[in-house]
Amino acid sequence: MPEINFKIQWPDGEQAVCYSPSLVVKKYFEVGETYTVSDFLARSRESLTIASDRVQAKYGFPCSRALGQLRQIEAAAQPYLEKSDNNTEALVTLLEFL
């Protein structure tokens, strides 16, 4: 199963490299695009869950690394969600697929 990493930039400028065991994330994100934190979180949840499910279908167990990556994204996103108000929300940028 082809795996892929993707590099993001959080609203504070911090960059992170994220992992997916499947190329499905390419259907959810585009290089250079910005996403509100809540949208990025929703897309991450959906794509990484699908990726983990694909591993389970092929190997008989979910991908703990993909689910761990999702937990890391959720934890990193939480402070930005708490700070946002109804009119503005911080943005996450997808820098590149690695």
Question: Alpha-carbon distance 28 to 40, whole Å?
Answer: 9
- pLDDT class of 86 with cuts at 50, 70, 90: low
Backbone φ and ψ for 92, nearest 5 degrees, come out as -110, 135
Cβ distance 93 to 39 under 8 Å? Answer: no
Backbone φ and ψ for 7, nearest 5 degrees, come out as -100, 130
**Residue 4 three-state SS:** strand
pTM score: 0.90
Domain extent, residue 29, equals: 4-97
Domain count, the chain: 1
Instruction: Give the model confidence (pLDDT) of 5-58 as tens digits.
Output: 999 999 999 999 999 999 999 999 999 999 999 999 999 999 999 999 999 999
